[in-house]
Chain A
Amino acid sequence: MPELLRIRDLNAWYGESHVLHGVDMAVNEGEVVTLLGRNGAGRTTTLKSILGLVDKRRGSIQLDGSEVINRPTHRIARQGLLGYCPEERGIFSRLNVDENLNLPPRLSRHGMPVEEIYAMFPNLAERRRSLGTQLSGGEQQMLAMARILRTGARLLLLDEITEGLAPVIVKTLGETIQQIKQRGLTIVLVEQNFHFAAPLADRHYIMEHGRVAEVVEAADVEAKEAHIKRLLSV
């Protein structure tokens, strides 16, 4: 399987503060990979660094074999066919649901048609004309996911999509991830919630202090569960 994303010795800074200290990871096409870790471990920053949304970065980020670390953000997104779902969801408050959904430009021909997306998220279909801020947290999260499915992105970067949501919605999101995976999309999933992530992922990268502390293949999760939980516990 071709390697879609390869990160080597990634360092990243916010202003003067050095946050990532040599992250290494790789994601093959069709895989679901998680970034686990305690708050402040550097998972969000890793996703942002891929997109060039930090102040400074060093190292290597290859998307589908080509180096992108010096490219501007919009070119990285197009080159890598990236779909980004930020931690704060990033629903635009002055845009309605339809406009939010249609905002990101199509990156490839493989995007889901809008009607299919609304069938997948029926709650959103009922609220097409509502402004972004009038949605509940769960609806905003659905919209943030729906928005990147439309574009034909091939590699999804999802940041804490279950954070602060009710268990039923978390369950729906889990099913959505399964469906997306079956479509052959590749996913990097930042999570706090190990029980949500464990059954979905092919591999887990556990981060600590801006580094990858441990890589656990799905097959080894059971054997290493106690160890993983210790790494994640506060």
Chain B
Amino acid sequence: MHLNVILAQTMLGLSAGVFYAMLSLGLAIIFGLLNVINFAHGALYMLGAFVALIGYSYIGPWLGYDDFHLGFWWALIVAPVVVGCFGMLIERFMLRRLYQFDHIYGLLLTFGIALILQGLMSRYFNVSGTAYGGQPDSLSGIVNLGFMYFPTYRLFAIVVSIIVCVVTWFVIERTSLGAVLRAGVENPRLVEAFGINVPRLITLTFGFGVGLAALAGVLAAPIYSVSPLMGANLIITVFAVVVIGGMGSIGGAIVTGLALGLVQGLTQALYPPASETVIFFIMVIVLLIRPAGLFGKDTAS
């Protein structure tokens, strides 16, 4: 096979992998502190894309200003903030009541929230998808990467996602703010006994993780069509990524997300029929060999 084809598939794989990475990163952060597997993560990703879509195409006419469009750059900020705040309300008023019970209740609650969000959006928007028209002109067209011509916007999405992932990793693993989070993951009661407001830390962490999902949703909007089920389809793959990477590690979530995007891209080139299933195949192998995942800590032993 020609090297250029491999490089081209690498880029395509990467452009899927960054979404896996951002979503599994948010899931890992939330799981670390809350011990809740956030089944609403895909729906909140979808909501992020819809905030961008609604802001661009609908909100102006709704408010009677037909030529108002919330631009893409604003959407990159507004959607994570709006969805992050929504997430914090969910945590503060619903999830928080469930921590005293088995984790399964948190999972069920977030699953229910996902269904409600998807159902609501399906009532008002086309299930087969709506095109997002807000992609800025400066990001349209293609760039020559030497080995291939690549859509400028996709390159932009890859770069932004990787920067966001690396900065998030750095803040968590290398700063004093991150130290509070790491300590909270390990022993929240003791952290609170030192005078740190752990309940608020949990709310903010959930908001941040969910905000990451929304940011991924905005970045996805110009690439994929915006649909109420876009998150439901993606999150299945992301959960497989999380199972493969293991829930334990922030860096592991990022690396696994990117790597599996690459694997998927290369499979697409080598043996296209397997590209949809290769991640699940890897998941089975990993579960057999390392049940706690590649980066997970084996808590059973």
Contact = CB atoms under 8 A, between A and B. Distances in A.
Interface stretch (B38-46, B188-196, B231-239, B278-286): B188-196
Interface in A73-89: 73-74, 77-78, 82, 84, 86
Residue from B182, B185, B190, B197 with most neighbouring chain A CB atoms (10 Å): B190
A103 B199 contact: no
B194 A94 contact: no
Interface residues of B, number: 19
Interface string A71-111: 01110011000101010001011110001001111010000
B107 interface: no
B176 interface: yes
Interface string B177-205: 00110110111011111111111000000
A104 B194 contact: yes
Interface residues of A, number: 22
A103 B183 contact: yes
Contacts of A86: 190, 193
Main secondary structure of the interface of B (DSSP, over half): helix
A151 B182 contact: no
A104 B186 contact: no
Contact of A74 (B176, B182, B187, B196): B196
A51 interface: yes
B196 A105 contact: yes
B186 A93 contact: yes
Contacts of A94: 182-183, 185-186
A53 interface: yes
Contacts of B182: 92, 94-95
Contact of A104 (B189, B195, B199): B195
B176 A102 contact: yes
Counting from the closest, the 7 A-B pairs by CB-CB distance are A104-B194, A77-B195, A73-B192, A99-B179, A78-B195, A90-B190, A92-B183
26 contacts: A72-B192, A73-B189, A73-B192, A73-B193, A74-B192, A74-B198, A77-B192, A77-B195, A82-B195, A84-B193, A84-B194, A86-B193, A90-B187, A90-B190, A92-B182, A92-B187, A94-B185, A94-B186, A95-B182, A95-B183, A102-B176, A103-B176, A103-B180, A103-B191, A104-B194, A105-B195
Interface of A: 51, 53, 72-74, 77-78, 82, 84, 86, 90, 92-95, 99, 102-105, 107, 151
